Chain A
């Protein structure tokens, strides 16, 4: 169903209080939408948010397409962020990315057909000391190798 429940609406009202205009709360509200909808802004929610924030549909679509972190499609059960920024890149971030692409047979921005994994290429996650690293579902980033990734994917597949 499109629309926030009462509890989330309370949060929204709190957000509105922080800004001079309702549309200024657009970004945090889009994050709420994603939190409530498996990490994406599904069909129909753009109109809802436009009305809620008293702005135009074009404004919402512009913001959503501008930011990589705002997604239109649901993420997989395990959303993998792989960092390819300079420090990670120097430690093999790109190889890690390519390895995951081969292993899962999806490109960044996509989700596996079983809905288990989705992949996203990101810039510095501010944990360069662990480079190269991935971050799963917003948990702490972890240092990885091709082997550790194979094992992890295997485990997760079995767990389903």
Chain B
């Protein structure tokens, strides 16, 4: 591979690759605003200047070059350290700030702002600007975003994203020179489902998230890697939280899944994570027709006793698992049903929702709104879109029905069939129509409160991590299931979701060769599925 030198360090590059691309790939930091790997190169912010002291032919470049638009050459010597390049960076930083309001104390971007960072690192700290700054007011440009043009540094990422990635071109660039503004057309309001990506792309606080405005200082947030649970695509995300509250969900780059993006429906998934109103918050048991709170020990004992009393086997027991459960939970659930009762588990399909298609972004939104249907299928749970198998199983009047999560709660016909069972045990995260017929409620955790893995629609297994603690009386479903199994007299070597996944790798053919570590930060396809 040809090589160039960045401050004397050799950097290998592919033919035609720009200096910045090769440098970033090697973990070097080059200051930049307009350059983004997803967008065309426009070289208009000039922040990425480099001093080319040798163009590869022994001669220095006559002036500073923008590294985002200059192809690397074999033997080229490039510097980010010479006085010449430092002066260039100083001047560009000063110019970028000419009209900037410097309202960092009230700016949502503060703490994760490229302008703030680069002004600190590459600026001089003073300005010769004596004229009035040009000013604008806030603009309500989209259902999910707001625009504060005073902070805009004219990098044009928003315009290029809307033209090249999203496609609607609803961000434009108007006027010229110091009057230039990036904005939507007159009072056009953006309504598509990919506005949040504009917030992430905007290197400053010009485009901000409506729901995150003035809520939290970015540097106070802890970012826990996870996977979006709002549909079957499984976009990689971080769960940003503070004081046990989830404040926002942000995409995490994974070129094999969501690249840099996620949809706004996924982003607003954070609301449900803080929801306490519709949450199953405490263990409950039905006594004389009423659900009343009970403590975990009592309720577990009661469940075991009742199951022994009924002593149902085979077809008399049915397991219904929701595909919002993790691979580990589904595996344990299925195992419990087989080992304790010789019974079968079904995973009824959720209703599919219409989703747009057409380009990469649209394809991110899956019609299946649960994160783990593929996992349920890989584990051999009876998946059927029409729920025929479930109906047949329930028509045999089982005595015991186990419900994990909230499967097909809209289907009242099936619900009525299940209600005829002597005993319905429900591991719930949110309240649902099941609550009307269930005999016990065991409150579980959301995807932001537990560890585990989901399998996305392309068969890629990806990890989630606990970001916040579940409410006091709620428990990780893995633990609930393991406790039940032990109570029912099955010994198991597992204690944590990590151990369960590692076990899955040896016990389930589809998961062969997968371990918590090999799945890693960016996921691993199921056995037999190409990456």
Of the listed stretches B166-174, B226-234, B276-284, B388-396, chain A binds B166-174
**Distance, CA A67 to CA B168, complexed state (A):** 24
User: B245 near A: Cβ within 8 Å?
Assistant: no
Residue pair A65, B163 in contact (C-beta under 8 Å): no
Residue pair B169, A62 in contact (C-beta under 8 Å): no
Residue pair A65, B175 in contact (C-beta under 8 Å): yes
- Chain A: which residue is nearest B175 at the CB level? A65
In the complex, per-residue mask of B175-209: 1 if CB is within 8 Å of any chain A CB, else 0: 11000000011000000000000000000000000
Q: Check A62/B163 contact, CB under 8 A, given A56-B169, A57-B185.
A: no
Q: In the complex, which residues 50-75 of chain A have their Cβ closer than 8 Å to any Cβ of chain B?
A: 56-59, 61-62, 65-67
* Count of residues in A whose CB is under 8 Å from the partner chain: 9
Residue pair A56, B175 in contact (C-beta under 8 Å): no
Residue pair B176, A66 in contact (C-beta under 8 Å): yes
| Chain B positions within 8 Å of A62 at CB level | 172-174
**Distance, CA A56 to CA B169, complexed state (A):** 7
Least Cβ–Cβ distance between B171 and chain A, in angstroms: 7
| Chain A positions within 8 Å of B176 at CB level | 65-67
| Chain B positions within 8 Å of A57 at CB level | 172, 185
**Distance, CA A30 to CA B159, complexed state (A):** 22
Residue pair B174, A56 in contact (C-beta under 8 Å): no
Report the interface size class on chain B: 10 to 19
**Max chain A Cβ within 10 angstroms of own Cβ: one of B163, B171, B174:** B174
| Chain A positions within 8 Å of B175 at CB level | 65-66
**Max chain B Cβ within 10 angstroms of own Cβ: one of A57, A58, A67:** A58
Least Cβ–Cβ distance between A63 and chain B, in angstroms: 10
Least Cβ–Cβ distance between A21 and chain B, in angstroms: 14
| Chain B positions within 8 Å of A67 at CB level | 176
**Distance, CA A62 to CA B175, complexed state (A):** 6
| Chain B positions within 8 Å of A66 at CB level | 174-176
**Distance, CA A66 to CA B185, complexed state (A):** 15
- Chain B: which residue is nearest A64 at the CB level? B174
**Distance, CA A59 to CA B163, complexed state (A):** 10
Least Cβ–Cβ distance between A69 and chain B, in angstroms: 12
Q: In the complex, which residues 154-169 of chain B have their Cβ closer than 8 Å to any Cβ of chain A?
A: 159, 163, 168-169
- Chain B: which residue is nearest A46 at the CB level? B185
In the complex, per-residue mask of A22-66: 1 if CB is within 8 Å of any chain B CB, else 0: 000000000000000000000000000000000011110110011
**Distance, CA A82 to CA B219, complexed state (A):** 55
Residue pair B173, A56 in contact (C-beta under 8 Å): no
- Chain A: which residue is nearest B183 at the CB level? A58
Given A56-B168, A62-B172, 20 other A-B contacts at CB below 8 A?
A: A56-B163, A56-B169, A57-B172, A57-B185, A58-B159, A58-B169, A58-B171, A58-B185, A59-B169, A59-B172, A61-B172, A61-B185, A62-B173, A62-B174, A65-B174, A65-B175, A65-B176, A66-B174, A66-B175, A67-B176
List the interface of chain B (C-beta within 8 A of A): 159, 163, 168-176, 184-185
Q: Can you report 8 A-B residue pairs in the complex whose CB atoms are below 8 A from each other?
A: A57-B172, A57-B185, A59-B169, A59-B172, A62-B172, A65-B175, A66-B175, A67-B176
